[in-house]
Structure 1
Amino acid sequence: MANGLWGRTVSALIVGVLLSVAAAMPTLAQSARVTVNGTPITDVQISQRVKLFALEGNRGGSKGATEQLINEAIQLAEAKRLGISVSNAQVDDAFLQIARNLKMSSDKLRQMLQQGGINMDTLKDRLRAAIAWNAVTEQAIMPQVQISDLELDQQAANQIQAYQGFDYILKEVIFVGQGSSARTGQANSYRRSFAGCDSAVDLSLKFTDAAVIDVGRRHATQMPEAIAKELAGLNVGGITKPRVVESGVSMLAVCEKAQAEDLTFIKSDLRAEAGNDALAGETEKYLAELRKRAKIIYN
């Protein structure tokens, strides 16, 4: 399945994970509280994450922090097994993206973190884990997510409205310029004289700064609801009421109209939604299976 289908989901996963960063407290003695496949998770790491939880309003406490760090250790190990590596440049880019999301410079973000006692090395380790896990998701989990086209067809058919069941060939008539009241009056005059698409251009020549543009074929689901409903009530040769747009005043003329239940556009949204849900579920199952196989020792 094309990665583009999941673009929004993967992006959301990355942003959500990247924003969860941990504060580091150097110079403290570090003893392993937990060992995951031979990788220690120290008291310092856990205390750092608990403090971060407090800043975020997360009440997970020490147990929640420990579980989160265990997951990260498992995610990094899986990435390594799959041959996935994360470069320093990727980590730096992730840091810059966080700054952009917060609408500040990277220097300002770095200063803010330093003032909060957050060690940059710890932050970069956190970002590296997030990037690695998203790469695992793309490589190992996405290909396993299957969406039934039959189910999508059925869902789309249930959602389509009567006014959305038409396919059109349209022309747009635009009265260009400011002064919407005067332009609307001229557009209404044009509309009263309109006798079909064949004479649309000739009729426009009788008006100042009026243009006729071939819109081409459009399905009702490609248009705003209000326009789709109005077009559904028109026959071939009809023209919509004037609407004020950025360039002036616009009307749509119906050159051809046919019943055609094209579900493509509704299915696209349904596919993205179903894919997002399925991906989230499969990712959770994948991590749970990795945890079952991991050697986790609580000291």
Structure 2
Amino acid sequence: MIRQFAARMLLCSALAATALTATMPTAQAASEIKVVVNKQPITTFQINQRLAFMKLRRAPGGAEAATNELIDEALKVQEARRRGIQIPDPMVDEAFGRFAKDNKLTEAQLGQVLGQAGFSTKGFKDYIRVQMAWGQAVQANMRQSERLTESEVVQRMLQQGGQKPSTTEYTLQQVIFVVPPAQRGSAMGRRMQEANAMRQRFNSCASTYDLAKGLKDVTVRDLGRVAQPELPPRWKNDIVAGSRGKTTKAIETERGVEFVAICDTRSISDDQAAAMVFQARDMEAMGKQEPDQALLKKLKDRATIVRR
């Protein structure tokens, strides 16, 4: 999400943040409530801020279009909250730093730009948090939407001539080289080197804990067995392309530097596996139909939206 923002005008993103989280007592006091979305008010102040954002983007539409954008955002925030999705501060800080870097700015310089435009670092981070939470809400909805029943699995198999689909099950370990948020700038490169050095020595999950013993602030987690359709998107391609006794590449994450070790693989074709395969195919089809818009439409249909 932040990489996509980097291709846009910096002030556009800053204004979007303010439109969502601005806290200017005088302006707020003078504004009126124009829309209530499931008891959450949207004021004329927020609408005016969004109008300014739209002008910077050269987006068509007036006050009505701005209001509609704010209604969508209110629904996204509410859905993320309903699902108990919370984005930790380190993830937001990392995204903020990456945005600054993509725009060839330090974080302090980005904060100055936001401040000079009349916005704030906190406002922009709050906007980032909402976008991340909405992304997780969409993924969670895709994973849980209408789990196939046993009869539905049987029906799908009959449609395929009675053939039961199979999938690969992976036994995995996760290795985390912890980097505190305050040290990300100075320590990330060194920790990446340490992680890659450990990957080169790795040959089986039986030795992972021994390899980690001599290293500082390294956590090893046994993830157990995970079927291919349920692999985390962040690691899925590397795991599928890998093999037993290998690891994914090391990447920077909100926790530091991480990689996943493939302990074992096996083919499974029981009823549960068949259900997961069919569900994965449905999710893929939904992905082609923009599942975020599908979920947003569902939320709108169920919402109580009162315009004044």
Instruction: Give TM-score, length-normalised by structure 1.
Output: 0.48
Larger Rg: 1
Instruction: Give TM-score, length-normalised by structure 2.
Output: 0.46
